[in-house]
Chains A and B, each alone.
Chain A
Amino acid sequence: MKQNDWLNWQNIGLKCGLEIHAQLEGKKLFCNCPTLIRDSSPHFSVKRHLRSSAGETGHIDIAAMREMQKEKYFIYEGYVDSTCLIELDEEPPRQMNKTVFTAAIQAGTLLNMRFVDELHIMRKTIVDGSNTSSFQRTALIAQNGTIGTSEGTVTIASICIEEDACRIIRSDDDSTTYSLDRLGIPLLEIATGADIKTPEQALETAESLGMIVRSTGVAKRGLGTIRQDVNVSIRAGARVEIKGAQELKLIPELVRLEALRQQSLLTIRNSLCERNASVKESVSDVTSLFTQTSCNVIRDATQSGGIVLATKLCGFAGLLGREVQPKRRLGTELSDRAKTYAGIKGLFHSDELPGYSILPNEVSAVKNALSCEEHDGFILIAAGSVRAKRGMIAALERAQEALLGVPSEVRKANSDGTTSFLRPMPGANRMYPETDVPTILITKEILAVELPELLEDREKRYVALGLGNDLARLAARSEDWKEFEILLLKFQKLKPAYVAEIYFGAAKTIERTFKQSINPSLEDYADIFAAISDERISKESVLDILREGSPVKHVLSKYRLLSDDDIERTIRTILSQNKGGHYQALIGIVMKQLRGKASGQKVSEILTRLNGMN
């Protein structure tokens, strides 16, 4: 990291925090269903509506209300043998699956955290439909920890045990379809404080936390099993939560681009203030100006009975097109809102017009209709009447927020490190007790768990055993490291590096070289290593044996090393057929015939002896 980079982050007041969510193996958190993610067609589906209602304070959670405004219904798909009435919210939760405590307590201890005396399960309101109950069950088990990084200590605010939400299958204007398979999978949520100071430190922290979670041995593996949320703010900006960074490597870019976005939005805000800009919510129907339009989006909308709405944005000219992130402009942010809340696909802003087959004369006509002056911009929405109005309100709300700076919201990570709008930041009112599940005492017995070996420690141990760095890293992080260690114990005559090379590398080599996929069992490997140990087969034949398929014990005899007498007999025959042959030529012929059935060393020994006799 360059010194001036760091100064830069400090100058803009970057604050960043992480939330790591790791799925755990075993049963679901509140029922006895397996944690099985399935692709096969579902066995049943049910249709539900979720409502938001005012809390005791009289305030409806903003995020909740927004979802209700979308007036969507939800379809939940499930499997009779792996999702039950509890996922369907047709039966109350059972007791919390206590096996998740082991992982939480291991992680908490490694992160120097304080555990609560009594665990309270809470309901966190979530009404995007991803939970059938409309809330996520979550419980805080530890707080106030730390983790070291090369740029200083990062605080760990909390570890929570949570249930995972449904998996989204598809979404259209009226409904969202979810799979129940993921709902209720236990999650370990580790949240850092907002004291990460640079994008690189964010990555380093995420890597260390991921390593600790993986070290517990019960974290699930594979795509989507660990998810990172990144919280970013800069001075005078606002906290923005970015969801769905599945790749660790993306984290520094997400932080950088969000800091950039907030800076750009603040600059835009300043320009807007200087111009005395304002958003007046008077919307004009300009459908009649587009009767001859060649713009497909507008034509499609009007021909199917829709309308074209336009609103003047006083003082916004030139700023709607201002980039806030690569290829994302202020106008994109307005368009995101209209898309999210009303499914609007065609929102146009004045800085991108004329364009999209909207002609200069049409632009002038709109400007006239709205009485736009030099610094005024406008937005256009073409859609069905109800949807166009709803989309316009949502877009104008975002324009209004531009006058204030950075809206605090939840955003979705795009694959290039930019982000798009997801939903408003949920209010603080959204947590209340889960009365269906009793509280749990965190006793000394529960806390007395054996600490796992950290992956990085295991890796060091393997390097000390003679494994190369890459192989050691691979072996330490493999799901099969325990099996590997069983093999090491059993075959102490063999070098650990050789066992690792075959156990972790042979299948890949075969895949790469022969385009053949093999799936040997632990027993197969044990049989092979036993045969090598006893010098019944040669190392050269291992790949060929594995390629024969499982179980290998049926084919081992085929590759059995020949006795010295047999080797001698073969060599004698070859020698008699190739009299006067040169040693190099002879060894070639002999090896061709004996490959895999005799070690090279033995062949050379015997050949030298017999050849010398001739």
Chain B
Amino acid sequence: MSEQPESEQKKSPVPKEGDRIQVITADETLEGTLMPSEQLFVVLKLPSGYNIGIHKHRVREIRLVKKYAPSQVVALASAPTAGLPKISILHTGGTIASKVDYETGGVTAKFTPEELLAMFPEIKQMASVTSRLVRQMWSEDIRFSHYNILAQEVASEINAGAHAVIITHGTDTLHYTSAALAFMLQHTPVPVILVGAQRSSDRGGSDAALNLLSAITFVTTTNFADIAVCMHETTNDETCVILPATKCRKMHSSRRDAFKAVNTEPWAIVNAKTRQVRFCKTDYHHRIEQKEHVRVRSFKEDIHVGILRMHTNMYAQEFSAYNSWEGLILEGSGIAGNMPINEIDEYTKEHTAIYNALQKLTKSGTVVCVTTQTIFGSINMNVYTTGRKMQAAGIIGNYCDMTTETAFIKLAWLLSNYNKEEVAALFVTNLVGEISSRLEAAEEK
């Protein structure tokens, strides 16, 4: 064996994150653990646990004290309990399964059943869990391709005999995904529940545990078999709501009860602690024991569908940006999903240009549909002249009460699977519970 040159041996290696180091400056020596550092600063975790930043230009020398040796993870015994329902948990990223590394300060994701059971030990008594990472991503980065991958994974879990599938998901676009799955999978023989968290699981005050445990409670104690979302009902850590996949929406940027049913009631309220489920509506599909093979009707990955939100002082250019797109959702104002198309004085000449741009879109084959930015309530395009003019221009969506997000997903999915005439007819037809035949007078909660 050849000996290494002496000078090389003496030279201390460049410290890496997690290494115990000494930082020597002109007037002090600080010892601690090297953390992921920034451009201008060496970030040091002091023995007290505090991180501090030391200006790199002050640093004379960094000495390695001890190489980082990751601690052994204490694996908890996780033999699946016999006789419990088999539940597949699919992860797509987001805060629900993320965890901070106390030693290096980085955020890691926990996805194996062992890790999941270590985080949520209660699951062991409730179900036999398999768990898998589909994609680790922020939910705002999701594209149609990811819906196709996810739906395939769900279908194969169901076809392999899963009692239920639970999907953990970032909350920002969770309601787009739930709607996409509803159209792609149509009616599943077992429940598919999407669960998110507004506070990451590494925090004692996280909402993740209750959301996940409520979803498991729900699928193991009822014969419900639809696609739904399970999140906190209120700001209290007490109950969760089971929301219809196509009729819910994230209504708050940060509260744990951000998800609300739109133009309908939640399917049910779940109390995971008492294991009680109270159904608010009973028109859900029941679990089917003799399962047919679940098929997926996918999205065309290159389909172009946009959303244009009405605002005052619009320009025709905003509409012509969608020329040659397959579909466009106009999130208009009020009951008719109105757009500024009336020239009423010398200041509104642009509105004629907008109307012409819309007509050009529909004539060239773009399917243009309206929703309303009031979020709640139905579209009725016959109430005002504007709505009637829009219908005359070939814009559809009358009598629908879909959220903009659901309408967008539905339009893209229809355009992926049907011809233009079918799309126009199906868009205004209820397929998977996305359009209400009547809006009940129940008080909004």
Binding site for B on A (CB under 8 A): 46-59, 64, 73, 85, 88-92, 114, 116-120, 122-125, 127, 131-135, 138-140, 144, 157-158, 160, 428-433, 435, 439
Complex Cα distance, B419 from A355, in Å, reads 91
Complex Cα distance, B75 from A428, in Å, reads 21
A-B contact pairs, 11 of them (CB 8 A): A56-B71, A56-B103, A58-B72, A58-B75, A85-B254, A117-B41, A134-B204, A140-B50, A160-B50, A431-B49, A432-B105
Shortest C-beta distance, B109 to chain A (Å), equals 12
Tell whether, in the assembled complex, residue A122 and residue B102 are in contact, meaning their CB atoms are under 8 Å apart. no
Known: A57-B103, A58-B71. Contact between A122 and B50, CB under 8 A? yes
Q: Kindly state whether residue B431 has any CB partner on chain A within 8 Å.
A: no
Complex Cα distance, B205 from A92, in Å, reads 13
Q: Kindly state whether residue B108 has any CB partner on chain A within 8 Å.
A: yes
Per CB-CB distance, the 4 closest pairs between chain A and chain B, nearest first, are: A118-B53, A134-B204, A431-B49, A58-B74
Tell whether, in the assembled complex, residue B105 and residue A140 are in contact, meaning their CB atoms are under 8 Å apart. no
Tell whether, in the assembled complex, residue A140 and residue B119 are in contact, meaning their CB atoms are under 8 Å apart. no
Tell whether, in the assembled complex, residue A58 and residue B73 are in contact, meaning their CB atoms are under 8 Å apart. yes
Q: Kindly state whether residue B255 has any CB partner on chain A within 8 Å.
A: yes
Tell whether, in the assembled complex, residue A428 and residue B254 are in contact, meaning their CB atoms are under 8 Å apart. no
Query: What sequence of 0s and 1s flags, for each residue 70-100 of chain B, a beta carbon within 8 Å of any chain A beta carbon?
Result: 0111110000000000000000000000011
Tell whether, in the assembled complex, residue A117 and residue B119 are in contact, meaning their CB atoms are under 8 Å apart. no
How many A-B pairs fall under 8 Å by CB?
142
Tell whether, in the assembled complex, residue B53 and residue A133 are in contact, meaning their CB atoms are under 8 Å apart. no
Complex Cα distance, B337 from A464, in Å, reads 79
Tell whether, in the assembled complex, residue B53 and residue A116 are in contact, meaning their CB atoms are under 8 Å apart. yes
Tell whether, in the assembled complex, residue B28 and residue A139 are in contact, meaning their CB atoms are under 8 Å apart. no
Partner of B204, one of A46, A125, A435: A125
Q: Kindly state whether residue B430 has any CB partner on chain A within 8 Å.
A: no
Q: Kindly state whether residue B58 has any CB partner on chain A within 8 Å.
A: yes
Shortest C-beta distance, B173 to chain A (Å), equals 19
Tell whether, in the assembled complex, residue A56 and residue B101 are in contact, meaning their CB atoms are under 8 Å apart. yes
Q: Could you say which residues of chain A place their CB within 8 Å of the CB of B48?
A: 140, 157-158, 431
Shortest C-beta distance, A561 to chain B (Å), equals 66
Q: Kindly state whether residue B206 has any CB partner on chain A within 8 Å.
A: yes
Q: Could you say which residues of chain B place their CB within 8 Å of the CB of A48?
A: 205, 236-237
Shortest C-beta distance, A194 to chain B (Å), equals 13
Tell whether, in the assembled complex, residue A428 and residue B54 are in contact, meaning their CB atoms are under 8 Å apart. no
Q: Could you say which residues of chain B place their CB within 8 Å of the CB of A439?
A: 38, 41, 53
Tell whether, in the assembled complex, residue A120 and residue B254 are in contact, meaning their CB atoms are under 8 Å apart. no
Shortest C-beta distance, A370 to chain B (Å), equals 34
Tell whether, in the assembled complex, residue A139 and residue B205 are in contact, meaning their CB atoms are under 8 Å apart. no
Tell whether, in the assembled complex, residue B237 and residue A54 are in contact, meaning their CB atoms are under 8 Å apart. no
Q: Could you say which residues of chain A place their CB within 8 Å of the CB of B236?
A: 46-48
Known: A48-B205, A134-B203, A432-B100. Contact between A91 and B254, CB under 8 A? yes
Partner of B237, one of A49, A118, A138, A140: A49
Complex Cα distance, B49 from A123, in Å, reads 10
Complex Cα distance, B107 from A51, in Å, reads 19
Tell whether, in the assembled complex, residue A140 and residue B52 are in contact, meaning their CB atoms are under 8 Å apart. yes
Output the nearest chain A residue to B52 by Cβ-Cβ distance: A116
Query: What sequence of 0s and 1s flags, for each residue 51-75 of chain B, a beta carbon within 8 Å of any chain A beta carbon?
Result: 1111100100000000000011111
Q: Kindly state whether residue B256 has any CB partner on chain A within 8 Å.
A: yes
Tell whether, in the assembled complex, residue A124 and residue B49 are in contact, meaning their CB atoms are under 8 Å apart. yes
Complex Cα distance, B64 from A565, in Å, reads 94
Q: Could you say which residues of chain A place their CB within 8 Å of the CB of B101?
A: 56
Which of B47, B52, B105, B119 has the most C-beta atoms of chain A within 10 angstroms of its own C-beta? B52
Complex Cα distance, B108 from A193, in Å, reads 35
Complex Cα distance, B210 from A260, in Å, reads 47
Q: Could you say which residues of chain A place their CB within 8 Å of the CB of B45?
A: 431
Partner of B100, one of A47, A56, A134: A56
Known: A46-B235, A92-B254. Contact between A51 and B46, CB under 8 A? no
Known: A119-B53, A140-B52. Contact between A88 and B46, CB under 8 A? no
Shortest C-beta distance, A351 to chain B (Å), equals 39
Q: Kindly state whether residue B43 has any CB partner on chain A within 8 Å.
A: yes
Tell whether, in the assembled complex, residue A50 and residue B204 are in contact, meaning their CB atoms are under 8 Å apart. yes
Shortest C-beta distance, B274 to chain A (Å), equals 13
Which of B35, B48, B49, B238 has the most C-beta atoms of chain A within 10 angstroms of its own C-beta? B49
Tell whether, in the assembled complex, residue A429 and residue B102 are in contact, meaning their CB atoms are under 8 Å apart. yes
Q: Could you say which residues of chain A place their CB within 8 Å of the CB of B300?
A: none
Complex Cα distance, B48 from A119, in Å, reads 15
Tell whether, in the assembled complex, residue A54 and residue B118 are in contact, meaning their CB atoms are under 8 Å apart. yes
Q: Could you say which residues of chain A place their CB within 8 Å of the CB of B202?
A: 53, 432
Q: Could you say which residues of chain A place their CB within 8 Å of the CB of B119?
A: 53-54
Given A133-B204, A134-B204; 10 other pairs, CB 8 A cutoff:
A46-B234, A47-B236, A49-B210, A57-B73, A58-B72, A58-B118, A119-B53, A124-B49, A158-B48, A431-B102
Q: Kindly state whether residue B132 has any CB partner on chain A within 8 Å.
A: no
Known: A92-B254, A120-B53, A435-B107. Contact between A53 and B237, CB under 8 A? no
Q: Kindly state whether residue B297 has any CB partner on chain A within 8 Å.
A: no
Tell whether, in the assembled complex, residue A135 and residue B204 are in contact, meaning their CB atoms are under 8 Å apart. yes
Q: Could you say which residues of chain A place their CB within 8 Å of the CB of B46?
A: 140
Q: Kindly state whether residue B124 has any CB partner on chain A within 8 Å.
A: no
Q: Could you say which residues of chain A place their CB within 8 Å of the CB of B255?
A: 85, 90-91
Query: What sequence of 0s and 1s flags, for each residue 233-266 of chain B, a beta carbon within 8 Å of any chain A beta carbon?
Result: 0111110000000000000011110000000000
Q: Kindly state whether residue B209 has any CB partner on chain A within 8 Å.
A: yes
Tell whether, in the assembled complex, residue A59 and residue B205 are in contact, meaning their CB atoms are under 8 Å apart. no
Tell whether, in the assembled complex, residue B235 and residue A122 are in contact, meaning their CB atoms are under 8 Å apart. no
Complex Cα distance, B238 from A47, in Å, reads 7
Tell whether, in the assembled complex, residue B205 and residue A133 are in contact, meaning their CB atoms are under 8 Å apart. yes
Residues facing A in B340-362 (CB within 8 A) are none
Known: A47-B238, A89-B205. Contact between A118 and B28, CB under 8 A? no
Complex Cα distance, B75 from A125, in Å, reads 22
Shortest C-beta distance, A116 to chain B (Å), equals 4
Which of A56, A57, A144, A429 has the most C-beta atoms of chain B within 10 angstroms of its own C-beta? A56
Tell whether, in the assembled complex, residue B205 and residue A132 are in contact, meaning their CB atoms are under 8 Å apart. yes
Output the nearest chain A residue to B30 by Cβ-Cβ distance: A143
Output the nearest chain A residue to B202 by Cβ-Cβ distance: A53
Q: Kindly state whether residue B201 has any CB partner on chain A within 8 Å.
A: yes
Q: Could you say which residues of chain A place their CB within 8 Å of the CB of B285?
A: none
Shortest C-beta distance, B375 to chain A (Å), equals 21
Q: Could you say which residues of chain B place their CB within 8 Å of the CB of A85?
A: 254-255
Tell whether, in the assembled complex, residue B204 and residue A127 are in contact, meaning their CB atoms are under 8 Å apart. yes
Q: Could you say which residues of chain A place their CB within 8 Å of the CB of B108?
A: 56
Q: Kindly state whether residue B199 has any CB partner on chain A within 8 Å.
A: yes
Partner of A55, one of B38, B102, B235: B102
Partner of B49, one of A58, A122, A157, A435: A122
Q: Could you say which residues of chain B place their CB within 8 Å of the CB of A52?
A: 204
Known: A140-B52, A432-B105, A435-B107. Contact between A133 and B203, CB under 8 A? yes
Output the nearest chain B residue to A91 by Cβ-Cβ distance: B254
Output the nearest chain B residue to A54 by Cβ-Cβ distance: B118
Shortest C-beta distance, A192 to chain B (Å), equals 13
Complex Cα distance, B49 from A433, in Å, reads 10
Tell whether, in the assembled complex, residue B254 and residue A90 are in contact, meaning their CB atoms are under 8 Å apart. yes
Tell whether, in the assembled complex, residue B49 and residue A428 are in contact, meaning their CB atoms are under 8 Å apart. yes
Shortest C-beta distance, A423 to chain B (Å), equals 14
Tell whether, in the assembled complex, residue A117 and residue B54 are in contact, meaning their CB atoms are under 8 Å apart. yes
Partner of B102, one of A46, A57, A114, A120: A57
Tell whether, in the assembled complex, residue B204 and residue A432 are in contact, meaning their CB atoms are under 8 Å apart. no
Tell whether, in the assembled complex, residue B51 and residue A122 are in contact, meaning their CB atoms are under 8 Å apart. yes
Complex Cα distance, B205 from A73, in Å, reads 11
Tell whether, in the assembled complex, residue B102 and residue A56 are in contact, meaning their CB atoms are under 8 Å apart. yes
Complex Cα distance, B201 from A497, in Å, reads 63
Output the nearest chain B residue to A134 by Cβ-Cβ distance: B204
Shortest C-beta distance, B60 to chain A (Å), equals 14
Q: Could you say which residues of chain A place their CB within 8 Å of the CB of B99?
A: 53, 56
Complex Cα distance, B202 from A55, in Å, reads 8
Complex Cα distance, B234 from A119, in Å, reads 35
Q: Could you say which residues of chain B place their CB within 8 Å of the CB of A144?
A: 28
Shortest C-beta distance, A46 to chain B (Å), equals 5
Shortest C-beta distance, B102 to chain A (Å), equals 5
Tell whether, in the assembled complex, residue A90 and residue B105 are in contact, meaning their CB atoms are under 8 Å apart. no
Tell whether, in the assembled complex, residue B49 and residue A430 are in contact, meaning their CB atoms are under 8 Å apart. yes
Q: Could you say which residues of chain B place their CB within 8 Å of the CB of A53?
A: 99, 118-119, 201-202, 204
